[in-house]
């Protein structure tokens, strides 16, 4: 990579960072002026939302794993049933 290319890339990143800061700045100002008890309440509320979301995702993953295990158990059970049936058929055929 040339020096010129890297310089342009850095300039673009700098512009992106400045634009992001310009968008975020009003929110930062709002939070800085918020009383402590309101800020704590806001943080607590957001923490509860994150906890609910994570719990929901965790439950979904557990259900998927449970289905996988249950399906494997069903497949093993079916295989065993077929094996027993085949043995019975062979036994009957020998008599």
Residue 57, sorted as left (phi over 0), alpha (psi -120 to 50) or beta, turns out to be alpha
Tell me the per-residue pLDDT of 58-90, one tens digit each, with 9 for 90 and over: 999 999 988 887 777 666 677 777 666 666 555
Instruction: Give the integer Cα–Cα distance in Å for 84 and 90.
Output: 10
pLDDT at 84: 63
Would you call 12 exposed, middle or buried from its count of C-beta atoms within 10 A (0-12, 13-18, 19+)? exposed
pTM across the whole model? 0.47
Q: What percent of the chain has pLDDT over 70?
A: 76
pLDDT at 31: 87
3 state SS of 87: helix
For residue 71, the model assigns a pLDDT of: 79
């Amino acid at each position: 990579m040339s020096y010129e290319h890297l310089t342009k890339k850095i300039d673009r990143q700098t512009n992106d960072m400045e634009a992001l800061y310009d968008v975020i700045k009003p929110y930062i100002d709002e939070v800085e002026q918020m009383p402590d008890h309101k800020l704590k309440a806001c943080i607590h509320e957001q923490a509860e939302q994150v906890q609910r979301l994570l719990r929901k995702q965790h439950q979904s993953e557990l259900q998927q794993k449970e289905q996988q295990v249950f399906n494997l158990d069903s497949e093993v059970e079916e295989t065993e049933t077929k094996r027993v049936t085949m043995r019975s058929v062979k036994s009957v055929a020998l008599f």
